[in-house]
Every structure is written in structure tokens, then in C-alpha cells.
């Protein structure tokens, strides 16, 4: 077997592999494996079909509740220079009350009176601010005091609004554990966030049952159900649906005001009681760049 023949064989195998990788799959909503890979492992990177809008203004970003609250959080740390934490290492009660009291993001349990805000641990949003700030390298803790890093100080300067949003959002979905506040078992589910973002861009302008997005995720990745136990009065599908809603919708995209929800008190996710659509604000910040699609153009149209 001469070298020239081996070279030809390798080239033919490479062409065959590329053809498979770029073939649209119905179970992937007509995306190719290459496109799906970019959503799962390279969301918002240059090769990904999901991109930021070419121009996002500071005014638009101030419409995003979590971003706006995050700026308030960083500004207060900046003003304090070195914010003294509690003995347990939590945010001081005064700061918690000030930030939540701005009314930028309200939490059901606090607003309904089921829980009273006395400390950082009483608020999911306040905990997320602190954790994401540290994961993003915007804040640092030394000697039980919280201060801004050089990166954090620069992020508050005029003209840095969009770069700060990018850092916050990307840290939220890629480094922060979206299951931090719930008791669901799944660890692999977080990797599906990019595909969900794509589906919202593709279909989110119309009101659709939440199950539309849940079912499309399960059609593409049925093995994810193996991470959810079969318990009394529940099934892996129902547990996955609840987890999907809590992690992706209620405690993430809703904090950014990227989702509009018609009903928040469903009997069952598979009764179609929850109807969602992507907000106008979502489309002001994200877009699908069709030039990035890697599937071969045949009869399919993703």
C-alpha cells in the first residue's frame, strides 16, 4: 500500500466525515451535528449561528433587569472600596435590603410574604450577583472584604456597557451552576442552554406552550432523561420539564426580561398551561446569523 494510496484514503475518509457532520438532521430541528456542536460548546463564539446584534446600545442594556442590578451591585462595592462581609462571608444586610429594595427584580417568595429578606441567603438573585461577580473575575474577596478587581473597575467605565453585559451573561450560562438553587440531579442539562437560545430565536416571536421547547430538546437529546429519576407521582419527563422551566426560564432568562410568561401557576407542564414567547428586548440583543450555518443546503431550511 503506497503513500499516495494512503493519502487518497485519508482524504476520502475526511470528506465522508465532513459530509456526515454537515448533514441536516430532522431530530436536530434540521441543524447539522456541526451546527449543534457550536451551540452546545461554542455559544456566541465566531463560528456559532447565535450571535449578538451588531449594535446594542447602553440604553437597551439598561432595560435588562439583571444587568442593571449588577451595575448597581458593582457600583456599591466600588463606592465602599472594600465592602466588609458578615462573619459567614455573606453580603451585609444593609446592602441586601438596598439592592432588593430598588425593585429591579422581585422574587415570588419574598413578595408573597412566604419568606422575609434578612440576609443574602434569602434571595436567589442576590446570591447570583455575588457568585457570578466572583466567577467573572469582576470582584474578589480578601480578609472577608469584597472589592472590585481591575477588570471590575474598568467594566463600570463609560463605553464598557456591552462588554460588561457579555461577561455577565456568558458567565451566567457557562460558569455559574444553573442548578445551584434547586434539587434536581441533572448536570448535563446546562449544556443544552445554547440550543434553547437558538430555538427561542427561531420560534420565540409567537406564543407557544413551554412544552414546545421541552419536547424539541428531548427529541434532540433523549438520553438526558437518564439523569432524572422515576419517582412516585412524577416521571423523568415531568421532572425534566420542571427543571427546564426553573433553570432556563424562571431563574435565568426571566431575570433578564428575555421571556414573557402567560401563566406561572401550571397544574402540569404537559397540560400546556405555561405559554411563553421571547420578549422584544431579547431580539434587540440576540440574532441568528444564517451565514454561520454549517449544514449543507439541500431541501432543508433551519
208-209 and 275-278 as β-strands: parallel, antiparallel, unpaired? Answer: antiparallel
User: Looking at residue 265, what is its pLDDT?
Assistant: 54
In a domain, 241, yes or no: no
Q: Is 131 part of any domain?
A: yes
Residue 229 lies in a domain: no
| Structural domain contains residue 126 | yes
Is residue 143 a part of any domain in this protein? yes
Q: Does 123 fall in a domain?
A: yes
Tell me if 181 sits within 8 A of 254, measured CB to CB.
Answer: no
- Give residue 185's pLDDT: 85
pLDDT of 269: 57
Supply φ then ψ for residue 272, to 5 degrees: 75, 20
120: Cα separation from own chain's centroid: 22
Q: Is residue 231 part of a domain?
A: no
In this prediction the pTM is 0.89
Cα–Cα dist 69/269, whole Å? 30
Number of domains in the chain: 1
Position of cell 446570591?
A: 127
Alpha-carbon distance of 196 to 43, in angstroms, equals 11
Q: How many residues does the chain have?
A: 302
206 in a domain, yes or no? no
Mean pLDDT (10-residue bins), the chain, 302 residues: 53 50 89 94 96 96 98 97 96 97 95 93 98 98 97 97 98 97 90 97 96 96 91 85 94 97 61 86 97 71 56
Q: Distance between CA 209 and CA 145 in Å, rounded?
A: 45
Helices (H), the chain: 3-21, 33-41, 58-61, 65-80, 93-101, 108-111, 124-135, 150-155, 161-174, 193-203, 210-220, 236-244, 280-285
Which among 168, 178, 177 has a CA at the least distance from the CA of 133? 168
Q: Can you give the residue range of the structural domain that contains 160?
A: 58-174
Amino acid at each position: 500500500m503506497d503513500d499516495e494510496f494512503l493519502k487518497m484514503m485519508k482524504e476520502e475518509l475526511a470528506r465522508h466525515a465532513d459530509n456526515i457532520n454537515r448533514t441536516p438532521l430532522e431530530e436536530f430541528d434540521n441543524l447539522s451535528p456541526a451546527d449543534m456542536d457550536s451551540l452546545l460548546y461554542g455559544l456566541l463564539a465566531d463560528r456559532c449561528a447565535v450571535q449578538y446584534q451588531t449594535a446594542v446600545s447602553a440604553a437597551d442594556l439598561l432595560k435588562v433587569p439583571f444587568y442593571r442590578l449588577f451595575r448597581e451591585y458593582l457600583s456599591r462595592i466600588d463606592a465602599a472600596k472594600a465592602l466588609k462581609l458578615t462573619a459567614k462571608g455573606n453580603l451585609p444586610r444593609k446592602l441586601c435590603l438596598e439592592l432588593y429594595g430598588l425593585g429591579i427584580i422581585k422574587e415570588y417568595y419574598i413578595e408573597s410574604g412566604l419568606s422575609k429578606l434578612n440576609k443574602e441567603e434569602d434571595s436567589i438573585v442576590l446570591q447570583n450577583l455575588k457568585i457570578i461577580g466572583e466567577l467573572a473575575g469582576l470582584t474578589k474577596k480578601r480578609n472577608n472584604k469584597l472589592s472590585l478587581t481591575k477588570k471590575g473597575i474598568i467594566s463600570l467605565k463609560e463605553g464598557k456597557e456591552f462588554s460588561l453585559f457579555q461577561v455577565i451573561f456568558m458567565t451566567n450560562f457557562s460558569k455559574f451552576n444553573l442548578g445551584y438553587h434547586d434539587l434536581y440531579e441533572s448536570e448535563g442539562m446546562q449544556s443544552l442552554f445554547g440550543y434553547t437560545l437558538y430555538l427561542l430565536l427561531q420560534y420565540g416571536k409567537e406564543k407557544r406552550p413551554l412544552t414546545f421547547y421541552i419536547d424539541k430538546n428531548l427529541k434532540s437529546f433523549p438520553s438526558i432523561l437518564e439523569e432524572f429519576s422515576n419517582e412516585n407521582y412524577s416521571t423523568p419527563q415531568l421532572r425534566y420539564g420542571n427543571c427546564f422551566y426553573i433553570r432556563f426560564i424562571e431563574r435565568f432568562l426571566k431575570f433578564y426580561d428575555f421571556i414573557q410568561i402567560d401563566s406561572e401557576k401550571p397544574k402540569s407542564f404537559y397540560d400546556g398551561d405555561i405559554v411563553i414567547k421571547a420578549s422584544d428586548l431579547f431580539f434587540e440583543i440576540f440574532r441568528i446569523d444564517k451565514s454561520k450555518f454549517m449544514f449543507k443546503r439541500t431541501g432543508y431550511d433551519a
